[in-house]
Amino acid sequence: MLQIRRIGVRLAGLAATILVIATINFILVHSAPGDPASVMAGQSGATDEKFLAEVRAEYGLDQPYIVQLGTYLGKVVQFDLGYSFRQRRDVADLIMERLWPTLLLTLTSFTLALAGGIFLGALAGRRAGRWSDTLISMGALLLYATPVFWLGLMLVLVFSIQLGWLPAFGYASIRADSFTTWHYITDVASHLVLPAVSLAAIYMAVYTRLMRSSIIEVSHEDHVKTARAKGLTEGRILRRHMLRNASLPVITFAGLQAGAMIGGAVVVETVFAWPGLGRLTYDAVLQRDYPVLLGLFLVMSVLVILVNLLTDLIYRMIDPRLAAR
Amino acid sequence: MNRREFNHLLFMSGAVAVSGVGLGRPAFAQAAEGGLTAIIQPEPPILQLALNQQTPTGVVGGKIYESLLSYDLKLTPGPQLAESWEMSEDGLTYTFHLVKNAKWHDGEPFTAADVVFTCDDFLKEVHPRARATFDRCESITAPDDYTVVFKLKEPFAPFLLAFETSSAPMVPKHLYEGEDYRNSEHNQTPIGTGPFKFNEWVRGSHIHLQAFDEYYGEGQPHLTEIYYRVIPDAASRSVALETGEAQLAQWGDVETFDVERLSALPHLTMTTEGYEFFSPVSWLEFNCRNKPMDDKRFRQAVMHLIDREFIRDRILFGLARVATGPIASTTRFYDGDVKQYELSIEKATALLDEMGLTPGSDGNRVTIDYPVPPYGETWVRTAEFIRQALAQGGINVNLISTDVAGWASAVSNWEFDITTNMLYQFGDPALGVARTYVSSNIRKGVMFTNTAGYSNPEVDRLFAEAAVATSDDTRQQLYSEVQKLLVEEVPVAWLTENQYPTIYDNRLEDLIVSATGANGNFASAKYAG
């Protein structure tokens, strides 16, 4: 009984949080100068009063702020994300189209960054002070300092222009709808490589450094000394006694960053013409396409919450002590 | 998870990390043989050209939709959906004879009823520019299925230039009649009479058009399909042209500094033809309501301070002509015999001194705000250059960076001192030039009107008379006069007539054949051999 009440309270809290987020989003979005009508007018090269008034009326911008906010929140409660009058389509459709490419890109990059970071960090941490450690640490620092768009362009230069191995941009080849399933998968995968590596690089660098220091710290713990005293090989000690403990801070950190990754993919999505949410957001900001923008904010907050949940699960898998609690 | 499971997971994730590289395979997939892959940037919001006239919408929509006329590189009207036309002696009645075998992409025949519906109803409802033109009509009627008669309230000289595709795209009556035009479901699957029909639009990726088999042009179109790929990053667009993944880029797709390099590649050709209908002119706009911009001498001083050849050569990399006045030299009624403002700091300072605008203790005569238009690097560099140039005359400029919404809102609501702006001329001074200078077009909150707030009864009179004059000689006389007057008055400081590069695969022939170039319908475009 108490348990159910507790869950109920938490759910109510969550709903309230989302409404507060939605309200803040609304105020934020509407406080930028200009509106969708002025953008459309500014881009079409000619306009008149009737056109501006009609666009504003469609968006409901001729209503008082408080009425607009009320209408918006009313729709959010009904899970209605609204309609983009600029693109003449439902916001939910626009977002759903872009959701899959973004999830594919960010999840691949996330996995890549985490796996690579833990692997390289552990390697460096075990050989702290030796040349391989110096090499990895230097490499990580270099990656960390490299701007994402530059790295992306350099990868294109090498792998697309010079070597011709990988496509330079896009999500799939333009005739991809006629491909067999397997051909389609490899096609998308080959398009995925460069953007995923570009996006993963900076995070991998961070995780490598985190993992390295974490490994060094764990290696001074009593249970590791005991294992060493037992005469276990170094490799076995690393795998069985250190890796899991040492990964925890990295995974905690990665979980926090995963949200940022979803929104922060905009640069990579732009360089590689990847049709994802980041670019949709960027365009919507510039176009003051309020319904799209508000819809995106909402979907992204939900995604961040989901990713945090996922991190929690992974955390418990790696450290069974947490699950027992 | 126990240790074995954990190790398994570890192995798997390591495998993912390693295998990331190696999945690759060459994927330079392109449009099928005889097809064209072009770049489109930015992605248009919709393709219904009657509802949206942004440049990218015009580029893609121009293949799907058509209007009654086409225009050659000299802006002479030619046939399109109308095969012939005539004007009455008094210049009040225009009669168009339509082609008889044109069809909509859904198979229905195109008839005069569609033209009447489009011009008298649809466009008047949704299209600001067409509304201004067709509001001049007393009646638009269809005596038979293939004849349309426009009766004007008073003569309007550039009436024949109003039938360019993006100015008056024909829409199907049988689909739109009785619908809410803006929210009709048909807007998602555009149906026109053009040589290419809409097939698919994967947002953020590409738009696919297919040749329309029942197109009325004999043997046209030659291309089998067109893919417009959305490539948001400028460097990636250059790469696409370089590798042959795309065979065509237009307007501002390629950064000015990259044009020369790409044009020199053996498989590419560059032309600046095909923008005559638009003939954009850029200028430094003054807010003539504010001091000291309200004084003609201040505006003249600014003309003396800006080295426009520098802008042409160093900022636009030669892709421009220096503008001499309000009318572009690529359009009719241009007159270059106007006052010249040579580069001279002395003349500028003399004018400013004469105004009594003397330097303060910090050396500045005045400080003014300059919202920088957010249309790319070129505009930012131009703004920075103008700031330096004006500083030499003791005019301190405050650059304000903003985005499209912020800039358009500031300029249309007159919240600026100076800014750069650029307008299309739409083929005739009465359509694209007068709007910037006549006092009847000072309309707060509306972009691309007389936002400078310049007002001069003589200028108003000259433009008004030239618009209704039926003889070209009279028009030339009036426009020559107004050009002289405006250049003396400097309501805006003209900078350059901007040119755009169209870069395309040099196997393509008859691609850029009209004054609307890459916005044209590509019915005649084909691969050599």
Residues of chain B in contact with residue A176, where contact means CB-CB under 8 angstroms, are 29
For chain A, give the percent of residues with pLDDT over 70.
95
A275–B230 CB contact, under 8 Å: yes
Half-sphere exposure of B95 (CA within 13 A, CB side): 10
Q: DSSP code of B103?
A: B
The whole-angstrom separation of Cα B529 and Cα B527 is 7
Chain centroid to CA B57:
10
Task: Please indicate if any CB of chain A lies within 8 Å of the CB of B528.
Answer: no
pLDDT for A323 beyond 70 = no
On the question of pLDDT at A58 being above 90, the answer is no
What's the pLDDT score for residue B5? 56
Q: Counting one residue from A and one from B, how many pairs have CB atoms under 8 Å apart?
A: 230
Residues of chain A neighbouring B128 (CB-CB closer than 8 A): 44, 46-48, 50-51
Residue A272 CA to residue A279 CA, distance in Å, equals 11
Closest B-chain CA to A42: B408
Q: A210 or A49, which is more confident?
A: A210
Query: Cα A127 to the chain's mean position, in Å?
Result: 32
Q: Which residues of A touch B205 (CB under 8 A)?
A: 170-172, 273, 275
A48 with B128: Cβ contact below 8 A? yes
Query: Peptide bond preceding B221: is omega within 30 degrees of 0, i.e. cis?
Result: yes
In B, which residues are within 8 Å of A187 by CB distance?
A: 27, 29
CA A53 to chain centre: 38
CA distance A172 to A194: 13
Asked if the Cβ–Cβ distance from A168 to B42 is below 8 Å, we say no
Tokens 């690759």 found at: B24
Lowest mean pLDDT among A103-117, A158-172, A295-309, B429-443: A295-309
Beta strands B225-230 and B36-40 are parallel
What residue type is assigned to position B256 of the chain?
T
pLDDT in tens, chain B (529 residues): 555 555 555 554 444 444 433 333 333 445 667 899 999 988 898 999 999 888 999 999 999 999 999 999 999 999 999 999 999 999 999 999 999 999 999 999 999 999 999 999 999 998 988 998 999 999 999 999 999 999 999 999 999 999 999 999 999 999 999 999 988 889 999 999 999 999 999 888 899 999 999 999 999 999 999 999 999 888 889 989 998 889 999 999 998 889 999 999 999 999 999 999 999 999 999 999 998 999 999 999 999 999 999 999 999 999 999 999 999 999 999 999 999 999 999 999 999 999 999 998 888 999 999 999 888 788 999 999 999 999 999 999 999 988 888 898 899 899 999 999 999 999 999 999 999 999 999 988 888 899 999 999 999 999 999 999 989 999 999 999 999 999 999 999 999 999 999 999 999 999 999 999 999 999 999 998 7
Average pLDDT over residues A136-158: 89
Contact check, Cβ <8 Å, B231/A34: no
Residue B32, pLDDT score: 64
What backbone torsions phi and psi does residue B274 show, to the nearest 5 degrees? 95, 15
Query: Using an 8 Å Cβ cutoff, are B161 and B94 in contact?
Result: no
Token representation of residue B441: 């077009």
Spatial distance between the Cα atoms of A295 and A251, rounded to a whole number of angstroms: 29
Q: How far is C-alpha B359 from the geometric centre of its chain's CA atoms?
A: 41
User: What's the confidence (pLDDT) of residue B22?
Assistant: 35
Crossing angle between the packed helical segments B234-243 and B256-263, to the nearest 10 degrees: 10
Residue type, B34: G
Asked if B423 and A52 come within 8 Å (Cβ–Cβ), the reply is no
Question: Any idea which residue has 């409660």 for tokens?
Answer: A77
**Interior/surface letters A110-139, b for 16+ CB within 10 angstroms, e for the rest:** bbbbbbbbbbbbbbbbbbeeeeebeebbee
- Give dist(CA B528, CA B54) in Å, integer: 32
3-class DSSP assignment, residue B194: coil
Asked whether the ipTM of the predicted complex exceeds the cut of 0.90, the reply is no
In this structure, what token pair is assigned to residue B32? 């099928």
B138 token code pair: 């007393």
Q: Residue B3's pLDDT is what?
A: 53
Residue A149 DSSP SS3: helix
Check pLDDT > 90 for residue A3. no
For the beta carbon of residue B143, count every other beta carbon within 10 angstroms: 10
Asked if B236 lies within 8 A of A43 by C-beta distance, the reply is no
What tens digit of pLDDT does each residue of A234-249 get? 888 888 888 888 888 8
The per-residue DSSP string of B397-447 comes to: EEEEE--HHHHHHHHHTT--SEEEEEE--TTSHHHHTHHHH-GGG--TT-T
Nearest CA in chain B to A165: B26
Chain A nearest CA to B88, separation (Å)? 30
CA distance B509 to B523: 11
Residue A229 CB-half CA count within 13 A: 7
Helix/strand number for chain A, H first, E second: 15, 2
From chain B residues 36-95, the ones with a CB under 8 A of any chain A CB are: 37, 42-43, 45-46, 48, 51-55
| Half-sphere exposure in the Cβ direction for A67 (13 Å, CA) | 6
User: What are the tokens at A146?
Assistant: 């490299």
Contact B182 A51 (CB under 8 A): no
Pinpoint the alpha helices (H) of A83-126: 91-126
Type of residue found at B360:
G
Torsion sign, CA atoms B181, B184, B187, B192? negative
Task: Test A287 with B26 for CB contact under 8 angstroms.
Answer: no
Task: Say how many C-beta atoms besides its own lie within 10 A of residue B307's C-beta.
Answer: 15
Helix (H) or strand (E) holding A223: helix A222-230
Q: In one letter, which amino acid is B380?
A: V
Backbone angles phi, psi at B498, to 5 degrees: -80, 140
Cβ contact, residue pair A159, B32, below 8 Å: no
Instruction: List own/partner pairs for A148-151 with CB under 8 A and 24 or more apart.
Output: A148/A198, A148/A199, A148/A201, A148/A202, A148/A267, A148/A268, A148/A271, A149/A267, A149/A270, A149/A271, A149/B233, A151/A198, A151/A201
Among all chains, which residue has been given the structure tokens 């301070």? B305
In this complex, is the C-beta atom of B401 within 8 Å of any C-beta atom belonging to chain A?
no
pLDDT at A30: 84
- In Å, what is the CA distance from A119 to each residue of A142, B35, B166, B428? 18, 47, 57, 67
pLDDT per position as a tens digit, B458-494: 999 999 999 999 899 999 999 999 999 999 999 999 9
- Which of A200, A275, A273, A215 shows the shortest CA–CA distance to A247? A215
